[in-house]
Amino acid sequence: MPAFNLEHEQRRLSEPGITYSAKVKSAKDNLRTLVAERTYAPSFFELTATAQEVTSVGYEHRGDLDNSYAKSVEEAPTEVIVKRYDLENQGYREVRKQFFELPLNSTIMLFSPPPDEQIPDYPGHSFAYFYHILPGESQDERTIKALAWVNGFSKADQAEILNKFGTGEKVLPTEESILTSPVSVSADNGTQSFRTIWESLRGYFKDKGYSGFICPSSAVMQEYLLYGEAVMKNQHFELDVMIESLAQRLAAGATRDEIADDFDTMLGTADKDLLYKDWGYQESLHMNIPRHTEHTELDRNQAFIIFQQNRHLGKDVRQVMTFCGMSGGMKISNPFETTQPNQDAVVNSWTFTVKNDSEQTSQEQTKLCCTCPFCEKEVEAQIGGGRIKCPECKKSAPYSKAA
């Protein structure tokens, strides 16, 4: 299950009945989805629903999305993937039938947990999908603003969250039960239904004290839901231009060699712009210092050692796990294929400076590259005397190492 398969994309874009502009839009959506997989950024898309069919730009050549999903099952390489796609399609159909049953401004949420049966190269990410129902261009049509969010909720978490809405049969902490049990909230106007669902998730996230994945505010997610294209272009203009350019070239039939360098540059830019955003729950004001496990010193030293080795040996330091495989970095020969994960080498790393108190025995962190919460600048914060201090605005906050 590669994160981005060029041959599959080229085959799909060459099918009859799809215009150039639709090809560009579709390819751009898929490239942006790849970026979201790598960086945990929100991924947005839009559907057009009628009583007869649901379509999305770039997929109309297969008609109703049901046809595209049926095709995905036909093209699945193994039985275990066929089984997974069947469950995903069941979940989609449960969502789809509510597009006209629910009033306007309602929101549907569908969890997509990791498979119960392990799939090779599938590291186990979990998604939540949101479908917000708005008026369409005609009385018989509805526009569905949709959003995908990568999260770290376990199956038990997801089942508990869904059962709190209490809308039907009890949801079990299994792949099938969760995937086929969407929940919905209705409100009179605006995005209150979406915000109600999101705040419920955020409250659960906070109660559990999670910090290993992103949980933005409802205001941020609402902007991505309604105005994703504009948010992306305004906040990450260079990245958006790269994605648009690659989409145009893919739609025109560019080969792997023709776009490989720019593809890798796009991935590196996405990692730089989006990968290190710290939107997790924090118990107190701090300088966006990454949270650590009980193996804090070991993890920090391991990350430093691996970074230094890769830097000096010229190895790829931007290889990132995605929900459907290992997405290749900037220096591998084939940026579109995945590789078998090396469990010993997968680490989360961050920029830091170390001081050797003893060249043989220890490393002490004295500075940290982070975002100051006061002046909001990227700085090398100074650590000492139990405080972390911003060199720009001179303000400081309490600091202690995680236990």
pLDDT in tens, 275-295: 655 544 444 333 333 333 344
Q: What are phi and psi of 133, to 5 degrees?
A: -95, 120
Give me the mean pLDDT over the 345-373 stretch. 46
pLDDT in tens, 301-348: 443 443 344 444 443 333 333 333 344 432 333 333 333 333 332 222
Instruction: Quote the percentage of the chain above a pLDDT of 90.
Output: 35
Residue 75 DSSP class: H
Where b means 16+ CB within 10 Å and e means fewer, 115-138 reads beeebebbeebbbbbbbbbeeeee
Which of 186-190, 275-279, 391-395 has the highest average model confidence (pLDDT)?
186-190
pLDDT in tens, 94-113: 999 999 999 999 999 999 99
Q: 378-384 and 387-389 as β-strands: parallel, antiparallel, unpaired?
A: antiparallel
* Residue type at position 299: D
CA distance 394 to 91: 52
CA distance 268 to 155: 32
Please give the C-alpha separations between residue 57 and each of 18, 27, 65, 216, 319, in angstroms, as whole numbers: 9, 10, 11, 28, 31
pLDDT above 70 (res 42): yes
Q: 142-151 and 183-185 as β-strands: parallel, antiparallel, unpaired?
A: unpaired
Give me the mean pLDDT over the 246-256 stretch. 93
Domain ranges for the chain: 6-273, 296-398
pLDDT in tens, 15-35: 888 889 989 998 998 888 888
How high does pLDDT run on average in the chain? 76
pLDDT in tens, 124-171: 678 999 999 999 999 899 999 999 998 889 999 999 999 998 767 899
Q: Which element (helix H / strand E) includes 27? A: helix 20-39
